[in-house]
């Protein structure tokens, strides 16, 4: 059967001080809804999958410390569909753990892996592309299918995947190569060629296939996960997981699985995902989901005079943020932190948080 897992374990440090270690960005109500309210990235990711799958075949993988918050945010999530990582060990182990637990209940499972960090519109085109990726897996059961986003600009912040020969499934090609984040000139060449897609970090594969790939290329992880699922679900399995998981080698799924597999012609496929896609990983990205007030992106109570290009965010409905003559700045107010930085330095927020932690410990993180 077809299953999917939402990867929701990140801490969202580049959206500090809104996103914190105890309540990360995927659980914050920051995405505007059609009813005038707001909802979380996680809720949106789950709802997208419900356009393709029944809720009982949708899983969520997150950090153990976020478990109760995820349960509260997603009452429709079955309790046994929540995968809890004891510690962060990068995406190869998170994806492997999810695959092992899904395969334990459905050995023939076809598994989509999606992120909780994305805003994707319209949902209908996402659902169609995901269904096409599942269809490609049915045609080529050993394949690893990645979803590639049609690029709209020469972005330098994303990896790329090059389309190769078309397959028997319309909209799906063999992946000719994967490219790391390029410089501007290279990104412009990729865009002009029409051969390259943004690598979304979303995949479809058989759970058994990715577990075998881990056995081939990351045997320590495969052996550790096998120990976990060898015991019955419940407290005994949780104890083994807590013992084993922190010892697994820390590595991304791209390095551990996708890149070695890509050396085998026709093994990795890419499905064309033609949608409006936003990876909400920074303040400028989040600003694209916020209300426009004049030339500023605003959430919360704010007044601006002779200001433009700003991102203004306040999570206190009784606290006014007022700007005059301010240009191209990020201004974020929370109960215990006010942060101001140029939009051009927004990628350095993670560096700023490290400096805060060095001086104040975990008090503000």
Residue recorded with tokens 């997603």? 74
Cα 113 to Cα 133, 201, 349, distances in angstroms: 11, 8, 28
Give CA–CA dist 217/257, Å, rounded. Answer: 7
Mean pLDDT of 312-327: 94
- In this prediction, residue 218 has a pLDDT band, given cuts at 50, 70 and 90, of very high
Residue recorded with tokens 């303040």? 283
- Classify strands 268-273 and 172-179 as parallel, antiparallel or unpaired: antiparallel
Predicted local distance difference test score (pLDDT) of residue 213: 93
- In this prediction, residue 38 has a pLDDT band, given cuts at 50, 70 and 90, of confident
pLDDT digits (tens, 9 = 90+) for 95-142: 999 999 999 999 999 999 999 988 899 999 999 999 999 999 999 999
Residue 31, pLDDT above cutoff 80: no
Predicted local distance difference test score (pLDDT) of residue 79: 95
Predicted local distance difference test score (pLDDT) of residue 34: 54
Give CA–CA dist 227/230, Å, rounded. Answer: 5
Residue 33, pLDDT above cutoff 80: no
Give CA–CA dist 137/124, Å, rounded. Answer: 20
pTM above 0.85, yes or no: yes
Predicted local distance difference test score (pLDDT) of residue 185: 94
As a whole number, the mean pLDDT across the chain is 92
Mean pLDDT of 17-36: 78
Domain boundaries, the chain: 2-279, 283-360
Give CA–CA dist 2/309, Å, rounded. Answer: 44
pLDDT digits (tens, 9 = 90+) for 163-205: 999 999 999 999 998 888 899 999 999 999 999 999 998 999 9
Give CA–CA dist 122/136, Å, rounded. Answer: 22
Predicted local distance difference test score (pLDDT) of residue 35: 54
Predicted local distance difference test score (pLDDT) of residue 262: 83
Predicted local distance difference test score (pLDDT) of residue 37: 63
How many whole angstroms from its chain centre is CA 294? 31
pLDDT digits (tens, 9 = 90+) for 256-300: 888 888 888 889 999 999 998 888 888 998 898 888 999 999 999
- In this prediction, residue 255 has a pLDDT band, given cuts at 50, 70 and 90, of confident
Predicted local distance difference test score (pLDDT) of residue 36: 54
Domain boundaries 2-279, CATH class? alpha beta
* Exposure string over 322-350, b if 16+ CB within 10 A, otherwise e: ebeebeebbbbbbeebebebebeebeebe
Predicted local distance difference test score (pLDDT) of residue 351: 93
Where is average pLDDT lowest: 53-62, 234-243, 264-273, 280-289?
A: 280-289
- In this prediction, residue 161 has a pLDDT band, given cuts at 50, 70 and 90, of very high
Mean pLDDT of 331-348: 94
């Amino acid at each position: 059967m077809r299953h999917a897992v939402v990867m929701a374990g990140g801490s969202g440090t580049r959206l500090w001080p809104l996103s914190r270690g105890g309540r990360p960005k995927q659980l914050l109500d920051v995405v505007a809804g059609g009813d005038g309210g707001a909802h979380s990235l996680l809720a949106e990711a789950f709802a997208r999958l419900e356009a393709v799958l029944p809720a009982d075949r949708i899983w969520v993988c997150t950090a153990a410390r976020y478990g109760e918050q995820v349960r509260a945010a997603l009452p429709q999530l079955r309790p046994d569909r929540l995968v809890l990582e004891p510690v962060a060990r990068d995406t190869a182990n998170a994806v492997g753990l999810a695959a092992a637990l899904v395969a334990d209940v459905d050995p023939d499972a076809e598994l989509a892996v999606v992120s909780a960090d994305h805003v994707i519109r319209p949902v209908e085109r996402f659902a169609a592309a995901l269904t096409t990726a599942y269809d490609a897996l049915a045609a080529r059961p050993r394949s690893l299918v990645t979803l590639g986003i049609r690029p709209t600009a020469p972005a330098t912040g994303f990896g790329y995947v090059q389309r190769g020969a078309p397959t028997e499934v319309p909209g799906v090609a063999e992946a000719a190569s994967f490219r790391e984040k390029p410089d501007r000139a290279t990104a412009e060449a990729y865009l002009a060629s029409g051969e390259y897609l943004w690598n979304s970090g979303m995949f479809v594969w058989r759970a058994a296939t990715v577990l075998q790939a881990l056995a081939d290329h990351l045997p320590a992880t495969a052996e550790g996960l096998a120990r976990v699922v060898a015991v019955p679900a419940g407290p005994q399995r949780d104890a083994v997981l807590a013992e084993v998981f922190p010892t697994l080698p820390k590595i991304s799924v791209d390095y551990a699985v996708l890149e070695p597999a890509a050396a085998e012609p026709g093994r990795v496929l890419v499905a064309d995902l033609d949608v409006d896609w936003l990876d909400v990983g920074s303040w400028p990205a989040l600003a694209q989901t916020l209300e426009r007030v004049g030339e500023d992106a605003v959430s919360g109570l704010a007044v601006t005079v002779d200001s433009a290009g700003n991102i203004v965010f306040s999570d206190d409905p009784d606290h006014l943020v007022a700007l005059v003559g301010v240009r191209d700045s990020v201004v974020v107010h929370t109960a215990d932190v006010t942060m101001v930085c140029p939009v051009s330095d927004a990628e350095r927020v993670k560096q700023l948080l490290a400096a805060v932690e060095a001086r104040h410990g975990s008090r503000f993180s």
